[in-house]
Amino acid sequence: MRIEAFVKFVTERHMIAVNRAKGLPKPWTTDVILQSYRFCNVYRELDTVTEWVRQNWSTEYRASPDVWFAMVVARLVNQPSTLNRLQPVPWVPREFIRVLNAQASLGVVVFNSAYIVSTNGRAMPKPQYLADHVLSPMWERRESLRPVQADTLGSYHARLMEMQGMGSFMAAQVVADLKNTNGNVLRSAADWWEWASPGPGSLRGMSRVYGQEPSKTGHRLVKWLQDVNTLRDAVNETFTMLGWKKLCAQDVQNCLCEFDKYERVRLGEGRPKSKYPGAA
């Protein structure tokens, strides 16, 4: 097992953020791989798009019973320059399509490439597909899709996944946004710290921690969650000693994806697409 290696990676990655925030000069780490390539923040809440969503839509729509719908729109588009021109609630599909098409006509980036959103094989423009086949059906079912006090993160994730366009990954992003939105019932979910949903990257990362060959298949969910929380506890022991706030299981799930990227470079299996701004 390579639990210590994982903890070291997560700690060093966050130390970069700490050193950068202090205004220290580059490089912010002695780790050559972390100096050279971009890796996501260990706290999801520090990511650029998440900060925009939290400062804007989470604040503006938090009193709405359909703030969940705003988070769905936010993650399907995931591009602040586009989101800044949208009003997700109440839902007006023709306006959504108009804004996205207008952005495209200007030659600017409409969707953030960090999340893969497709038309699921339908030969039609993505804005039209999202409006007609994903968002409008969800809006029509909005009363049954609103989080309620009895929900856990896991139960709400399962409910979102009943809808077209809401695969496990995308639904988990919406859950993460809602559980960090002030006033939302998911902020007090019983499994706030312990729940996460596995994806291919985190399964590969977990396999690397436990010394197995990287694979898109992995532990069954119950075992995977146990292992995620074992890693969470290991990281949080170190973070507590350093005076840093604790990670939740969803943070650790993201870190496993990044650890897989790190290990690919270390082992000569490939390189991330993006250079880190701290690189020389």
Percentage of the chain surpassing pLDDT 90? Answer: 85
In angstroms, rounded to a whole number, what is the distance separating the alpha carbons of residues 202 and 263?
Answer: 12
Portion of the chain with pLDDT greater than 70, in percent: 95
Cα 232 to Cα 99: distance, rounded to the nearest angstrom: 41
196 has pLDDT over 70:
yes
- Per residue in 22-75, pLDDT (tens digit) is 999 988 999 999 999 999 999 999 999 999 999 999 999 999 999 999 999 999
Q: Per-residue pLDDT averaged across 69-89, rounded?
A: 97
Closest CA to 131 of 73, 81, 67: 73
Domain-by-domain residue ranges, the chain? 3-44+193-266, 48-188
Nearest one of 19, 30, 35, 26 to 262, comparing CA atoms: 35
172 compared with 117, residue with greater pLDDT: 172
pLDDT band at 279, cuts 50/70/90?
Answer: very low
pLDDT tens per residue, range 122-139: 889 999 999 999 999 999
pLDDT of amino acid 16: 95
Model confidence at 199: pLDDT above 90 = no
Residue 219: band (very low, low, confident or very high) from pLDDT cuts 50, 70, 90: low
Task: Tell whether pTM > 0.95.
Answer: no
ω before 272 within 30° of 0 (cis)? no
Task: Report the distance separating Cα 74 and Cα 113, nearest Å.
Answer: 13
User: What pLDDT shows up at residue 180?
Assistant: 97
pLDDT for residue 114:
80
Distance (Å, rounded) from C-alpha 255 to C-alpha 179? 18
pLDDT at 1 (0 to 100): 82
pLDDT surpasses 60 at 178: yes
Instruction: Write down the mean pLDDT value for the chain.
Output: 93
- Across the range 222-228, mean pLDDT stands at 91
Measured in whole angstroms, how far is the alpha carbon of residue 196 from the centre of its chain?
A: 11
Confidence band for 113, pLDDT divided at 50, 70 and 90: confident
Query: What b/e sequence results for 22-47 when a residue is b if at least 16 CB atoms lie within 10 Å of its CB, and e otherwise?
Result: eeeeebbbebebbbbbebbbbbbeee
Contact predicate 256/205, CB 8 Å: yes
